[in-house]
Structure 1
Amino acid sequence: MQQMYLPPLTKVNKYLIGILVVSFVLGAVFAKAFDISLVAILGLDVASLKSGLIYKMVTYPLVSTGLFNVVFTGLLFWFLGSDLEARWGSRRYIHYLLIATFVNAFAYSLFAIFMGGASLNYPFHGMAFLSSAMCVSYAVIYPDRIFQFFMIIPVKAKYFCLILAGMNVYQGFFSPGGAQAFGNIASMIFGAAFVFGMRGLGFYLRDQVGNLKKKQGKVKKKRKGHLRLVDDEEKPNPDEPRYWQ
């Protein structure tokens, strides 16, 4: 019987989970105590972008609502994000998260404009798009790792990724938050493209290093080919004067 793999929680993902939990608590407190919606203030919507509130393209992940969504996303950060950070390093992993944030923001905005209606004013928020990107990146790197679907059913990473994509496609076509679901799909595409892009870059760099080594080897051979033995007759006579007057 295969056991679920539990990686150690890495530094960046500790911060992500901390932000996730704090944003959820603050959102609940502000809504209950002050009747202030952080989703309306920080969430991403097309109407706000048209009004010049560009900052929302960065702040929308900082708002989390729904206890199940927070728990599920936090677990994915731990199980998937920790392995990705350990494999890539913290710096590249942070770049990955930032690029995914902007990719999702642009994709969501475009789909919201295309779909029109309520999508233009519906604020996108939360970090679920990051977990979607991570799922695909992880499945490309570790396709046969075992996930516990709903914490019960063991599923290989590649199949879990397909299930998640299918759920987003369904929500995109048959739910009011269709633009959000299609934004998640764009994040999943980015997750695959990032891994394949790094692989392609790695192959390219290895080829360039190999070609450089071959060129250096040829240069050394040419230099060796120009070497020749010098007979004693060709050597300068120490008794002869060095300068002629």
Structure 2
Amino acid sequence: MKWLYKLEYKYGRRYIRRLMLIVVIGMVVVYLADVFGASAGMSPLPSTYLMLSRDAILHGQVWRLITFVFVPPGGNAFLLLISLYFYYIMGNMLETYWGGFRLNIYYLFGIVGTWLAMFIVGYGTNSYLNLSLFLAFATIAPDTTFRLFFIIPIKAKWMALAYAALMAIQLIITFITAPLAGLYSLVSLAFSLLNYFLFFGRTLIDEIRNQMRIAQNKRNWRNRNR
């Protein structure tokens, strides 16, 4: 990734510090705005005006290109707390490992990928963008242990595999029940993870080749010792 080294050498001091802390605080503010809006009978809720929508953006609501990152995940307050905790922890660790500039570039490329998906399918969310953070962390520090629901210890690599399996099942079910929606979800996933494949594609290819060599060596050893 020589291009990244060149960018960092030239612009390495220009980045948003504590990026994920800012994102998490923004999500909390939007969540509270929705809570107060719902209690006041507001419809639609404030977060609706922050989401990615191709039609809305083409009609001048360009702020959505940025504000969608602050839309909190769905669910109750407890699940939101868990999600925001993980976002902050992973973002902080990635910033420590990579440095703030690389984390900014990684997140920016994820945003651009989400934009591309949005202009193709008509809408977009930050779900896959935040997933790309988790995948990056699980790739860099696979043996880091988290406490699921603050109780159950589980390593990052197993969490990533479980999440990927659940997402694959969800995509398959969506394809079966609503093929067009499934296609849209697949397009959104692929484009939103462009940052991950850009940063880790070579690593993944090398790992696959390494595992194939190991498997081939095991087969050769068994054949020689029959």
How many residue pairs match? The answer is 180
Given residue 42 of structure 2, which amino acid in structure 1 is its aligned partner?
D
Note the residue ranges of structure 1 that are not aligned, 5 or more in a row.
1-9, 113-119, 200-245
Q: What is the deviation of 1:74?
A: 1.0
Other-structure match for 1:167? 166
- Give per-residue Cα distances to partners, 1:206-239, cap 9 Å, x unaligned: xxxxxxxxxxxxxxxxxxxxxxxxxxxxxxxxxx
Cα RMSD (Å) of the superposition?
Answer: 3.3
Q: What is the deviation of 1:159?
A: 2.2
Other-structure match for 1:20? 27
Given residue 195 of structure 2, which amino acid in structure 1 is its aligned partner?
F
Other-structure match for 1:190? 195
User: When the two structures are superposed, what TM-score results if normalisation uses the length of structure 1?
Assistant: 0.60
Does residue 100 of the first structure (1) align with residue 99 of the second (2)? Answer: no
Structure with higher helix content: 2
User: For 1:50-129, what aligned pairs fall within 5 Å after superposition?
Assistant: 50-51=58-59, 53-64=61-72, 65-66=74-75, 67-110=77-120, 112=121, 120=122, 124-125=124-125, 127-129=126-128
Rounded Cα–Cα distance in structure 2 between residues aligned with 1:68 and 1:180: 26
Give the 3 Å change call, closer, same or farther, for CA 35–84 of structure 1 in structure 2. same
Q: Is the 8 A contact 1:103 1:186 kept in 2?
A: yes
Given residue 101 of structure 2, which amino acid in structure 1 is its aligned partner?
R
Given residue 20 of structure 2, which amino acid in structure 1 is its aligned partner?
N
Percent of counterpart pairs with the same letter? Answer: 22
Given residue 16 of structure 1, which amino acid in structure 2 is its aligned partner?
V
SS of the equivalent of 2:169 reads helix
Note the residue ranges of structure 2 that are not aligned, 5 or more in a row.
1-16, 205-226
- Bigger mean CA deviation after superposition, 168-177 or 25-34: 168-177
Given residue 38 of structure 2, which amino acid in structure 1 is its aligned partner?
A
Given residue 89 of structure 2, which amino acid in structure 1 is its aligned partner?
F
Larger radius of gyration: 1
Does residue 46 of the first structure (1) align with residue 54 of the second (2)? Answer: yes
Runs of 4+ displaced beyond 6 Å: none
